[in-house]
Chain A
């Protein structure tokens, strides 16, 4: 039999949704413990009521005044220390919603009882999320992740302490390596945007800083500790480099450059993504943007190495294109053709100013001097990391917008949800802000609302869920919260947290997340294990052999470390 914790209190109302437990003198109850109690209901039989401890308190019984505590501690006044725990009910079985009876014995749920209380028993497949406070594993139902019954994840928390990106990658690792997806896991792809530092560029390198305890926690969750097996990193070309060498410092293999040719830029109509700032949307020149994009699509003739010619003029770089567009718009004769009729000169000038400014940011991504790569993500690698951290803001928006659109269109055309495509995007409040519209926000909204059926699953992270478009947040089946700012925690977007949890998120430690999933009425508090893959160069062990077999090993820009080719690192320098 399970361990007895205490009895249901009679001095506080017990309801079918929550009740208080007087904790026995030799027992204890901590937050997040799973407790269970039973009662007999006439005609129904035994009803088992289980829940999670959401609040605990202790007090002196017999003390009337605040100062009595000194008399009690001084050994003058008799008083009893009594602890009580509030249990928020997660499950009533069978579903007869009766309150537990005061005085009923309450037990700590273990084994099957705990699984039932947390609905783990009904999960045909389980994705390990980590451990609860009492060291027991906590699972997620992948039905709510892979689109079967729900999709999308929203992760909120303040920067630095909330470990949002770590949790997103851990969730991905768990999903791909726990066997929850079955055979499908091999074909499932993930696209990760790396927005700060080179944190995510070493996903396929073992972490040398983890010890046996961390490895053991992975095994207890039913998977082998290790790095992601198949990773490709896409980075922007180096500034000013005519060969398109990827701009990455911390690794040399499994890296490829991403860029678009001028021909693609014109054919695919990527110009609006250059103006994807929320600020751009409020301006009049949006019309000019679309007019120019249409004009380019019509006029541009593809040439070798991605270059184009417009009206017989050869353009080999983004700057050339900008110059040409500016010229056409400045010229009174061609202005109406390029900018459309009834457009004020001021509006055209505003567009020109911004277009010229974009040359500095986007120039290295739009090339007329390199062979076309086709769609950016035709990689065989399971996980593709698109590195944005070196790019200025406008270029980041451009890349995110274009990559997402390409992926979404590819899935749309494929017409089948499987295999799944996961998209991990941090700083969602920048790409899909609550106010205003932008081309990226439109795509993200599309993913949030239709991605479930198309097999595009968004794992979005943001500092403040209150500043992200409501429809994106509300379409997320799984909501995860790390440490929050005090003002942010009171916002209605976090209404799924219990009152006590709203206080707790203010002091959540790195590695602690509150995970709400649709089946459970209470978010579970999870400690997820330290990443088994390197998160910075100092932690990186050797890369797996698979990385050398990068998706595009034959790519003209792939640079291979000559020492790796030697293949024999045991050898010392021969003198």
Chain B
């Protein structure tokens, strides 16, 4: 088998959008308040003291082509990392945020096995040779690592914020999924207007959402430069198997704990939704992914050996 490495910068073709599945969304707005009574909900005075935030990063280090018997198969070399930050307001001597768990993995995603040792990148099989599918498989691998990290750290936290949808990680205690951007609007008419009316620190009542998989969810506005429209609004998800009371308690906990974690616009382009601990964690994780030029060189060296 012959392996070639694309000469151009792999990040040009990195499409972070995961394939969207346009499922029909079924909303039950009457969990906490009747739809007619919907109004912004204020945060409770005190919230959790120990919050764990879990996040992952992923980077395509190289695109390769596996050529066998005249047939060409695309592949991607991907590095990903996941880690957790514990924000402990009652730390040893003072409040402290510490990275408690970090893991880095790499892999070569392709539909066929190159049958050779590919440096630091062990082979991982993808379902199809489609470029989008390769990325999705890598994304899934990262989600798996995130789940592994969160299962190690969330046990002693009063609130665990997992970046992205909660799907597949619903068994972790006190966990919420944290969605920064809104590709779809799940609420209708008047209820959407409640989201727009949220002041910083306020949340919408908890509602139940069934779109592909069931969960409790609510919107929360973080303090930021502007509080108009949907700016600074994040959506949170809680597991479907919780009781309604437990879901509402979690919603209150997030409303108390997350607004102080919101980042400042001049420090983070994704402010305020990209939480300060996540920004710090992502910087650390990206550093741990290693120098992309160095990795690209190792990929090239490995591909030379296989030829």
- Is the CB–CB distance between B279 and A77 below 8 Å? yes
Closest CB pairs A-B (n = 3):
A75-B95, A77-B280, A78-B280
Closest B residue by C-beta to A64: B267
Contact B96 A77 (CB under 8 A): no
B279: chain A residues within 8 A (beta carbon): 77
- Nearest Cβ in chain A — how far from B167, in angstroms? 26
A75, B280: Cβ atoms closer than 8 Å: no
- Is the CB of A575 closer than 8 A to any CB of chain B? no
CB-CB under 8 A from A71, the residues of chain B are 97, 276, 280
Indicate if the CB atoms of B95 and A78 lie closer than 8 Å.
no
- Residues 262-293 (chain B) with a chain A CB within 8 angstroms: 264, 267, 276-277, 279-281, 283-284
Residues of A12-37 whose CB lies within 8 A of B? none
Contact A79 B267 (CB under 8 A): no
B99 contacts the other chain (Cβ, under 8 Å)?
yes
**B283 CB contacts on chain A under 8 angstroms:** 62, 64
Question: Can you list 26 A-B pairs, Cβ within 8 angstroms, ordered by A?
Answer: A62-B283, A64-B283, A65-B267, A67-B264, A71-B97, A71-B280, A72-B97, A73-B95, A74-B95, A75-B87, A75-B88, A75-B96, A75-B97, A76-B87, A76-B97, A76-B260, A76-B261, A77-B97, A77-B277, A78-B85, A78-B97, A78-B98, A78-B99, A78-B277, A78-B281, A78-B284
Query: Which chain A residues numbered 71 to 96 have a C-beta less than 8 Å away from chain B?
Result: 71-80
Chain B residues near A67: list those with CB within 8 A.
Answer: 264, 267
A67, A73, A78: residue with the most chain B Cβ atoms closer than 10 Å: A78
User: What separation, in Å, do the CA atoms of A157 and B5 have in the docked complex?
Assistant: 67
The answer to whether B89 touches A62, judged by C-beta atoms less than 8 angstroms apart, is no
Closest to B261 in A: A76
Most chain A Cβ neighbours within 10 Å, of B88, B97, B98, B267 = B97
* Central interface residue in A65, A67, A73, A76, by most chain B CB within 10 Å: A76
- Inter-chain pairs besides A73-B95, A76-B87, 20 sampled, C-beta below 8 Å: A62-B284, A65-B267, A67-B264, A67-B267, A71-B280, A72-B97, A73-B94, A75-B87, A75-B91, A75-B94, A75-B95, A76-B95, A76-B97, A76-B276, A76-B277, A77-B97, A77-B280, A78-B85, A79-B97, A79-B280
Task: Find chain B residues with CB under 8 A from A80 CB.
Answer: 99
Bound CA–CA A269/B277 (angstroms): 86
| Closest chain A residue to B84, Cβ basis | A78
Q: Which of A350-376 contact B (CB under 8 A)?
A: none
A78 to B282, CA, bound (A): 10
CA distance A64 to B264 in the complex (A): 13
Contacts of A73 in B (CB 8 A): 94-95
A408 to B280, CA, bound (A): 72
Residues of B within 8 A of A (CB): 85, 87-89, 91, 94-99, 260-261, 264, 267, 276-277, 279-281, 283-284
Interface size class of A (residues with CB under 8 A): 10 to 19
The minimal Cβ–Cβ distance linking B150 to chain A, given in whole angstroms, is 16
Query: Bound complex: CA of A119 vs CA of B24, how far in Å?
Result: 81
Q: In this complex, what residue of B is CB-closest to A71?
A: B276
Nearest B residue to A74 via CB reads B95
Closest to A76 in B: B276
Q: Which of B91, B98, B280 has the most CB of A within 10 A?
A: B280
How distant is A30 from chain B, measured CB to nearest CB, in Å? 22
Residues of B with C-beta under 8 A to A77: 97, 276-277, 279-280
Given known A75-B89, A76-B260, A76-B261, contact A62–B95 (CB-CB < 8 A): no
Q: With A and B bound together, what is the CA distance between A75 and B277 in angstroms? A: 9
CB distance from A71 to the nearest CB of B (A): 5
Nearest chain A CB to B52's CB is how many angstroms away?
A: 11
B157 smallest CB distance to A (angstroms): 13
A residues less than 8 Å from B99 (CB atoms): 78, 80
Least Cβ distance of B276 to chain A in Å?
A: 5
Taken together as a complex, chains A and B put the C-alpha atoms of A228 and B281 apart, in Å, by 66
A63 to B, closest residue via Cβ: B280
Q: Which residue of A lies closest to B90 (CB)?
A: A75
The chain A residue with its CB closest to the CB of B94 is: A73
A66–chain B nearest beta-carbon distance, Å: 11
CA A68 – CA B87 in complex, angstroms? 15
The docked-state distance in angstroms from the alpha carbon of A74 to that of B279 is: 15
**Roughly how many angstroms separate A130 CA and B239 CA in the complex, as a whole number?**
69
Contact, CB under 8 Å: A62 / B88: no
Chain B residues with Cβ below 8 Å from A78 are 85, 97-99, 277, 280-281, 284
* Residues of B contacting A72 in the complex (Cβ-Cβ under 8 angstroms): 97
What residues of chain B lie closer than 8 Å to A62, measured between beta carbons?
280, 283-284
What's the nearest-Cβ distance from chain B to residue A65, in Å?
Answer: 6
Measured between beta carbons, the chain A residues less than 8 angstroms from B98 are 78
* Alpha-carbon separation in the docked complex, A68 to B260 (Å): 14
Chain A residue numbers with a CB within 8 Å of B94 are: 73, 75
A67 to B267, CA, bound (A): 10
Residues of chain B within 8 A of A76, CB atoms compared: 87, 95, 97, 260-261, 276-277
Q: Which of chain A's residues has its CB closest to B281's CB?
A: A78
Closest to B98 in A: A78
Q: How far is the CB of B260 from chain A (nearest CB, A)?
A: 7
Closest to A65 in B: B267
Residues in chain A near residue B89, CB distance under 8 A: 75
Q: How far is the CA of A91 from the CA of B211 in the complex (A)?
A: 71
How far in angstroms is the closest Cβ of chain B from A69? 12
In the assembled complex, which residues on chain B have CB atoms less than 8 Å from the CB atom of A68? 267
Say how far B211's CB is from chain A's closest CB, in angstroms.
Answer: 32
Q: How far is the CB of A540 from chain B (nearest CB, A)?
A: 50
A79 to B95, CA, bound (A): 12
Which residue from chain A places its CB closest to the CB of B96 in the assembled complex? A75
Question: A384: shortest Cβ distance to chain B, in Å?
Answer: 60
- Distance of A81 from chain B, by nearest CB (Å): 10
User: Residues of B contacting A74 with CB < 8 Å?
Assistant: 95
Q: CB-CB < 8 A to B261: which residues of A?
A: 76
* In the complex, chain A residues whose CB is within 8 Å of the CB of B91: 75
Q: How far is the CB of A485 from chain B (nearest CB, A)?
A: 40
Residues of A within 8 A of B96 (CB): 75
| Closest Cβ–Cβ distance, residue B161 to chain A (whole Å) | 13
Q: In the complex, what distance in Å separates the CA atom of A65 from the CA atom of B265?
A: 13
B138 to chain A, nearest CB (A): 25
A426 CB, min distance to chain B CBs, angstroms: 50
Question: Complex formed: what's the CA distance from A330 to B97 in Å?
Answer: 93
Complex Cα distance, B96 from A80, in Å, reads: 10
In the assembly, what is the distance between CA of A78 and CA of B87, in Å?
8
* Residue in A73, A74, A75, A79 with the greatest tally of chain B CB atoms within 10 Å: A75
Point out the residues of chain A lying under 8 angstroms from B280, CB to CB: 62, 71, 77-79
Please indicate the chain A residues that have their CB under 8 angstroms from the CB of B85 in the complex: 78
